[in-house]
Amino acid sequence: MNIGVLGAGSWAIALSVLLHKKGHKLCMWEYSDEAARFLNEKRELPSKLPGIIIPQDIQITNSISQMLEMAELVLCAVPSQTTRQTLKTAVNETNPPVFANIKGWIMASKGIETGTLELMTDVLIDEIPNLKNDRVAVLSGPSHAEEVSRNMPTTVVAASENQQLAQLIQEQFSTDTFRIYTNDDMRGVELAASIKNVIALAAGITDGMGFGDNTKGAIMTRGIAEMMRLGKKMGARDSTFSGLAGIGDLITTCISRHSRNRRMGELLAQGLTLDQALDRMTMVAEGVETTRSAYALAKKIGIEMPITTELYKMLFEGKPAKLAVRDLMMRETKPEFW
């Protein structure tokens, strides 16, 4: 198949290299002309995926219309907070008939948009002309680019309200090291993918503060409870949060040395300000802005998300980490399931 990729960062490259091995024709769009020239010349992104060579017949372009014109499927892999502007650029620079020829849009970005509090598939449907849910899917799960690009066994989920589209992705993207399951709870998968980054920030803070396994286990387990509480209120299924996009991705992101969100939390616990910690990061820590959005969303729909709330106060109100931990531990006692 002809697959266009919005983005040329580590996840976009890892997926493109994987799909190239399946025999698909790939074209990646990079928003920076300078970065696109670098990738075309070097065929590698050493700052993020050192040693991973991009095959010569994967096209890399700074023309978003060129990428879309060749695509039967479009894989969206740009940072969540830039997704809307990227899609606006796509619409502004591409002839309208091109969009009708695209069979499916696959969202691989994870996050909740600041301000609108929309999930990425909502942003996609907002911006692409005449696009409906039956041509939209989400690809998510425990899948660090560093490991996928090196053919380490990985399992993910393709979620869509259109099971034919989910099964098409399963068939076309699965390899002997990349196994895909299908799911029809697209909203649940997106919420899990977004909130796990928030919990991973909190897990990184506990690591940076020198706490142990008890604390990490508590953060992850109560983090799942927050995901499920939010998901239930927004029409998702509880079972989705027990799957790859929920528990699977949460465990991976909270414990992995590759996790940018866990690393961000460590930096904050070491006493860096938010701006200082962001400057240290070579890749986007989606959990920072998602914390802002998740906190606002919880208030809007009237649910409690204690870990998210304390993290928001640390990131954006300057609350000391030790005080945030104490306040979490000293909350009014409750049953485990409420």
Same domain? 32 vs 171: yes
Same domain? 94 vs 231: no
Same domain? 305 vs 289: yes
Specify if 338 maps to a domain.
no
What was the pLDDT predicted at 233? 96
Same domain? 67 vs 14: yes
Q: What is the pLDDT along the chain (338 residues), one digit of tens a residue?
A: 999 999 999 999 999 999 999 999 999 999 999 999 999 999 999 999 999 999 999 999 999 999 999 999 999 999 999 999 999 999 999 999 999 999 999 999 999 999 999 999 999 999 999 999 999 999 999 999 999 999 999 999 999 999 999 999 999 999 999 999 999 999 999 999 999 999 999 999 999 999 999 999 999 999 999 999 999 999 999 999 999 999 999 999 999 988 888 999 999 888 888 888 878 876 667 889 999 999 999 999 999 999 999 999 999 999 999 999 999 999 999 999 88
Same domain? 176 vs 196: no
What was the pLDDT predicted at 274? 84
Domain boundary pick from 184, 207, 231: 184
Domain boundary pick from 134, 151, 184: 184
What was the pLDDT predicted at 282? 65
Counting other chains too, the contacts that 229-233 makes at CB distance below 8 Å and 24 or more residues apart are 229/303, 229/304, 229/305, 230/191, 230/195, 230/294, 230/297, 230/298, 230/301, 230/303, 230/305, 231/187, 231/188, 231/191, 231/192, 233/301, 233/302, 233/303
Structural domain boundaries enclosing 169: 2-184
Q: Which of 46, 39, 104, 36 lies closest to 76, judged by CA? A: 104
Q: What is the pTM of this model?
A: 0.94
What was the pLDDT predicted at 322? 92
Same domain? 84 vs 198: no
Q: How many residues does this entry show for the chain?
A: 338
Same domain? 22 vs 146: yes
> Which residues participate in catalysis according to the annotation?
196
Question: What whole-number distance in Å separates Cα of residue 239 and Cα of residue 237?
Answer: 5
Q: How many other C-beta atoms can be found within 10 angstroms of the C-beta atom of residue 244? A: 25
